[in-house]
Every structure is written in C-alpha cells, then in structure tokens.
C-alpha cells in the first residue's frame, strides 16, 4: 500500500498549488506538516528564477537567470538558470532533518520538488531517502515528468512500492485535491 504521495505533470500545470492546498487542509485537520516548496520569481513579467520557501515562511533563492555562482562554489546550471546550492541546502535540509529526528507520531513532509536543480545536492538526495524511510512520516512531494534522459533518483522514487503518483493535468487539477488528501491521510497509518 502506498505511504507517500508524489505529484507529477508539466511545468505550470498546478502541482505546487495542489501541494499548498493539501498542506492547508492537512494542517487544519491537526496533522503536523513541514517541508518546502519552490516558487517562481518574476520581474517585469518574465521569470528570472525560483525561490525555495519553507512552510514556516523562510525564503531564499534556488536559482536565477544567468547569475554567477556564489564565490567559492562551482556552477550548477539548468538551462539558463544557475542553482544556488548553498541557499537551497540551508533552507531545505533542516526541514527534512527535523522530520527524521522528530518525535514519534504521524507527520507529513512536503518536498516540492525533487527535480534537476535540487538533485545537484547530494546531501538533499540522502535527506530525501532518509525521510522516505522515516517511520510515521508521509512525504507529499512533486517530481518532474520524464523527458529526455531520465533522472535516476526521480525514477527510483517513481518506482517505489510505497509511492502513489498522481499525474496532474489542466483537466484534472481542480478535482484531485480530495484524492490527494485522502491518500496522504491513509498513508501514515
């Protein structure tokens, strides 16, 4: 039976919006929810990058268009975006580690997303593996649609017996929330 829930679908289809709505529903029903999501950053009507935002409200850059890497680090690039690994790890790793070390009892950990930018971080990959294995923790996350060369870790998640993957489309995105919440709530038991 599936314990973890991941959403997949093309960019801009509404995966993060569904994750945010599901988090609110779960929190309001008394389920402890922690984690992070990624948010588009726009300037003058065009996308200039992405921020990582924790559910407790902390925010920092995940990537920016064409910006050089921070001094003393090597450049991680996805298309036109340069990934700020230091900023990402400072925000994402503590919320994942907190879940692994938290007190017993069911909890939900939001991981939006496990994608190409985030996978430059080996500590992140290890933290996601630990979170997926943590007793009582249900992961509610997003993974990209497979295209081109598959991302090995994404395929590892997709093929796990304890993972339910929902494909989000423009046609079904407004109807999936109850199914996602029900699946997450039943996963922790």
pLDDT in tens, 94-151: 998 765 655 566 789 999 999 999 999 999 999 999 999 988 899 999 999 988 888 9
**Mean of the per-residue pLDDT values of the chain:** 90
Instruction: Give CA separation, 160 vs 7, 48, 133, 151, in Å.
Output: 14, 34, 11, 15
Which residue carries 């998640």 as its tokens?
Answer: 157
- Report if pTM > 0.75: yes
Based on C-alpha coordinates, what's the Rg of the chain? Answer: 16
- H-helix or E-strand containing 96? helix 85-101
Residues 82-95: tens digit of each pLDDT = 999 999 999 999 99
Task: Give the pLDDT of residue 136.
Answer: 86
Q: Are β-strands 107-111 and 81-83 bridged in parallel, bridged antiparallel, or unpaired?
A: unpaired
**Of 30, 88, 32, 28, which Cα lies nearest the Cα of 58?**
88
CATH number of the structural domain 4-37+86-188: 3.40.50.300
């Amino acid at each position: 039976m599936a314990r973890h829930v991941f959403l997949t679908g093309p960019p801009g289809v509404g995966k993060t919006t569904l994750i945010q709505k599901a988090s609110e529903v779960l929190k309001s029903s008394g389920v402890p929810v922690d984690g992070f999501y990624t948010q588009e950053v726009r300037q003058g009507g065009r996308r200039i990058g992405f921020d990582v935002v924790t559910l407790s409200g902390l925010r920092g850059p995940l990537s920016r268009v064409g910006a050089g890497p921070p001094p003393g680090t090597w450049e991680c690039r996805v298309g036109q975006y340069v990934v700020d690994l230091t900023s990402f790890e400072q925000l994402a790793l503590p919320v994942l580690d907190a879940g692994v070390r938290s007190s017993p009892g069911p909890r939900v950990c939001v991981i939006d997303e496990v994608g190409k930018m985030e996978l430059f971080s080996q500590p992140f990959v290890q933290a996601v593996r630990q979170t997926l294995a943590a007793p009582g923790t249900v992961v509610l996350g997003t993974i990209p649609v497979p295209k081109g060369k598959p991302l090995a870790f994404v395929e590892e998640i997709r093929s796990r017996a304890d993972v339910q993957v929902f494909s989000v489309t423009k046609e079904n995105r407004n109807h999936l929330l109850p199914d996602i919440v029900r699946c997450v709530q039943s996963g922790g038991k």
